[in-house]
Structure 1
Amino acid sequence: MKKVLLLLANGFESYEASVFTDVFGWNLYEGDQNTELVSVGLHPVLSCTWGYSCIPMRQIEEVDLNDFDALAIPGGFEQANFYEDAFSEDFLSIIQHFDQANKPIAAICVAGLAVAKSGVLTDRFGTTYRFKNNPRQDQMKEYGVLVQSNERIVEDRNIITSSSPETALDVAFRLLELLTNEENTAEVKRRMGFA
């Protein structure tokens, strides 16, 4: 069984988290049934971008990172204090752990900034939110990332980053493909009505 750690920061965007829960949930019932997703937060209760509360399945101190095969990170909004958690040492060290083990890391939208800030994308290709004159992409460049401004999704070795919430489903399906295979992912897409 392949295990995915869904790392949630306060202020995360619920849609971006939900694509991982849905894709991996569908795989558990309708795909190869060989994946498990565990939502993990730094706090017992998290506040989502749009103001409602979420209780993660586990807090970070309750899990052994070595038990997981991949890391998934949804983005969030600065106004909802996303970066307070996403830029914390605890959060960044989790990203570093997965990269050091060469395990897949999938970051949607501004979650790529946390990946960049952790240092694991220095001199590597990536992207992040690309609207409003691209201040987030400029910020990513300051962290030493070779930003691919016009790409929706960028994959550099084990790290996937993306440019907006629109990419979320594609990122989740790509992570599923990396953990299972192309045929299984196509079947899950078909059963979900995307193919």
Structure 2
Amino acid sequence: MAAKRILMLVGDFVEDYEVMVPFQALQMVGHTVHAVCPGKRAGEKVRTAVHDFEGEQTYSEKPGHNFTLNATFDEVRPEDYDALVIPGGRAPEYIRLNPDVLRIARHFADADKPIAAVCHGLQVLATAGALKGRTCTGYPAVGPDVTAAGGEWVELPADRAYVHGKLVTAPAWPAHPEWLARFLEVLGTRIEP
């Protein structure tokens, strides 16, 4: 397996599990993961939030950890990366207002590179115009964004994932085992027992 260079787009109040777990897991299998945030440099931190499903009509939100960025957003050249990961939480709703975030997302979609988006991460892809003709899933409240952007929405349980070509999507962090496994398949990563 050739190690891949993966870009992860984050922002303050990214969902804690959705940034921490894939950041560590993808490195664990040998890939390089650069986590960046608009307006921030390597070594700076973003705050995370823990979203939980406790029986109310939507998720609850609790303070998470500080997550240290390991790359500088202004230095990112998307053509230097093999794949993109966009975690959810509240970050996608505002980082999608940054034209460079949209340019980066469009690069991966237009170049047909692997993309994983979890939960609200699809908001970035929808705003970038990267979902037209693609079928995907995410947090249910993002379904209208996907449809308005020309994508096809699939409703799945929170612990499931959906693959359309090189796009891997999931409703929320309970799907980590499945979406990470599917994303590794799309990346061509083989894990030997």
Using the size of structure 1 for normalisation, the TM-score is 0.78
1:73 aligned partner: 86
Counterpart contact for 2:120–2:138, Cα < 8 Å: yes
8 Å contact 2:122–2:142 — kept in the other structure? no
Which segments of structure 1 move beyond 3 Å, counting only runs of 4 or more? none
Q: Write the distance in 2 (CA, Å) between the matches of 1:7 and 1:40.
A: 5
What do residues 73-102 of structure 1 show as CA deviations (whole Å, max 9, x unaligned)? 11013xxx5411134322121110111111
1-side partners of 2:70 and 2:77: how far apart?
14
Q: Which residue of 1 aligns with 2:106?
A: 96
Deviation at 1:51, TM superposition (A): 5.4
State the partner residue of 2:34. 38
User: Which of 146, 149, 152 pairs up with 2:155?
Assistant: 149
In the alignment, the residues of structure 2 paired with residue 103 and residue 42 of structure 1 have an alpha-carbon distance, to the nearest angstrom, of 21
Q: How many Å separate the matches in 2 of 1:63 and 1:139?
A: 27
**Which one has more relative contact order, counting CA pairs under 8 Å at least 6 apart?**
1
Which residue number in structure 2 is paired with residue 190 of structure 1?
A: none
Contact 1:99 1:158 in 2 (8 A): no
Report % sequence identity: 26
SS at match of 2:94: helix
CA distance in structure 2 between the aligned counterparts of 1:73 and 1:167, rounded to whole angstroms: 14
DSSP-derived class of the 1:160 partner: strand
The residue aligned with 2:119 is 109
Moved more, 97-106 or 158-167: 158-167
State the secondary structure of the residue aligned to 1:94: helix
- Matched AA of 1:166: P
Contact 1:19-1:169 at 8 Å conserved across structures: no
State whether structure 2 residue 84 is matched by structure 1 residue 48.
no
Structure 1 residues 180, 156: closer, same or farther in 2, change over 3 A? closer
The one of 10, 21, 24 aligned to 1:19? 21
CA shift in 2, pair 1:138/1:57, >3 Å: same
How much does 1:168 deviate?
A: 2.4
Contact preservation (8 Å) 2:166, 2:186: no
Given the superposition, is the C-alpha separation of residues 43 and 169 from structure 1 closer, same or farther in structure 2, using an over 3 Å criterion? farther
CA gap of 1:52–1:103, structure 2 versus 1, over 3 A, is same
Is the alpha carbon distance of 1:53 and 1:15 closer, same or farther for their aligned partners in structure 2, counting shifts above 3 Å?
Answer: same
Q: Distance in 2 between matches of 1:22 and 1:174?
A: 16
RMSD after superposition: 2.0
TM-score after normalising by structure 2: 0.79
2-side partners of 1:155 and 1:142: how far apart?
20
- Higher strand proportion, which one? 2
CA separation of 1:116 and 1:82: change in aligned 2, threshold 3 A: closer
d(CA) in 1 for partners of 2:176, 2:123: 16
1:60 CA displacement: 1.7
Structure 2 SS opposite 1:48: strand
